[in-house]
C-alpha cells in the first residue's frame, strides 16, 4: 500500500512495549507521529528514541502522541528501552510497536527492498486528528532524524490547520508567515489585523496570527 498526503491512514491493532493498542483509539483526538526503526539495539535508533523521550513535554504541548515501530518483539523492545534510558539519560514511556510479521510496515510502505528486504527504513508520518496523513519523510538507515525539524514542521502544520496561512522557507515559530492564496489582498487586512506586507500580489506576509 502506498500512502499519499491527505489519505486517511489505516487503523491497526498491535502489541507494544506498553501493552496492546488500537492505533485510532490510542491517538484519540490528538495529532500523531508514527516512526519506524530498522531494528532494536542499533546505535542511531537508540539516540532517536532517546531524543523523542526527552522531547515529551514539547509533544505534549502540541497535543501530539508518538509511537515507534520495529520488526522485533515486545520483550526485545522492553530490554532495549533499558539501554535507551541508561545511555540517553531519559525515560521512554511511549509505545514501541512489535511488528514481527511486518504487516504494519507493509501498510505504511516502510520496507524498501533495495535498501533492506527485512528491516524498515527511517520513515516518519505525521497524522492529524482527522486521521489523515499530513507529512511523511524517509531517511536512510545511516542518517538519524532531526527532531527539531519534526517539531518545526508540526508547528507549521498545526498553524496552517487553524489559519489560512503557509510558512516560508526556513520559517521558525514567531517568524512572519505567508497569507494563503485563497485570501484576497482586499480581505487580508480584516483577517490579519496585525498587518499585511504585500511584496507581490501573490506574496503577502503577516505576523504569525497566534503569537502575542
Catalytic residues, by residue number, are: 45
- Listed residue (59, 127, 113, 70) closest to 95, CA to CA: 70
Scan for cell 546505535, then name that residue.
43
Q: Which grid coordinates are listed for 130?
A: 482527522
**How would you classify the pairing of strands 165-166 and 64-70?**
unpaired
Contact between residue 115 and residue 5 where contact means Cβ atoms under 8 Å apart: no
How many whole angstroms separate alpha carbon 210 and alpha carbon 98? Answer: 39
Query: Given the C-alpha cell 496552517, which residue does it identify?
Result: 160
Under 8 Å between Cβ of 39 and 32: no
End-to-end CA distance of the chain: 43
Amino acid at each position: 500500500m502506498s500512502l499519499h498526503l491527505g489519505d486517511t491512514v489505516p487503523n491497526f491493532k498491535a502489541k507494544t512495549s506498553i501493552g496492546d493498542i488500537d492505533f485510532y483509539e490510542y491517538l484519540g483526538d490528538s495529532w500523531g507521529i508514527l516512526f519506524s526503526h530498522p531494528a532494536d539495539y542499533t546505535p542511531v535508533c537508540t539516540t532517536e528514541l532517546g531524543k523523542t523521550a526527552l522531547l515529551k513535554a514539547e509533544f505534549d504541548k502540541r497535543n501530539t502522541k508518538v509511537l515507534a515501530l520495529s520488526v522485533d518483539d515486545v520483550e526485545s523492545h522492553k530490554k532495549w528501552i533499558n539501554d535507551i534510558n541508561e545511555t540517553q539519560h531519559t525515560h521512554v514511556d511511549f509505545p514501541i510497536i512489535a511488528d514481527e510479521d511486518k504487516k504494519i510496515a507493509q501498510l505504511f510502505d516502510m520496507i524498501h527492498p533495495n535498501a533492506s528486504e527485512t528491516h524498515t527504513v527511517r520513515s516518519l508520518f505525521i497524522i492529524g486528528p482527522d486521521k489523515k496523513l499530513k507529512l511523511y519523510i524517509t531517511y536512510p538507515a545511516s542518517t538519524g532524524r532531526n527532531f527539531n525539524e519534526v517539531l518545526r514542521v508540526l508547528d507549521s502544520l498545526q498553524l496552517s490547520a487553524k489559519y489560512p496561512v503557509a510558512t516560508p522557507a526556513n520559517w521558525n515559530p514567531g517568524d512572519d508567515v505567508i497569507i494563503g492564496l485563497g485570501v484576497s489582498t482586499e480581505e487580508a487586512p480584516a483577517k490579519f489585523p496585525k498587518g499585511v506586507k504585500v511584496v507581490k500580489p501573490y506574496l503577502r506576509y503577516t505576523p504569525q496570527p497566534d503569537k502575542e
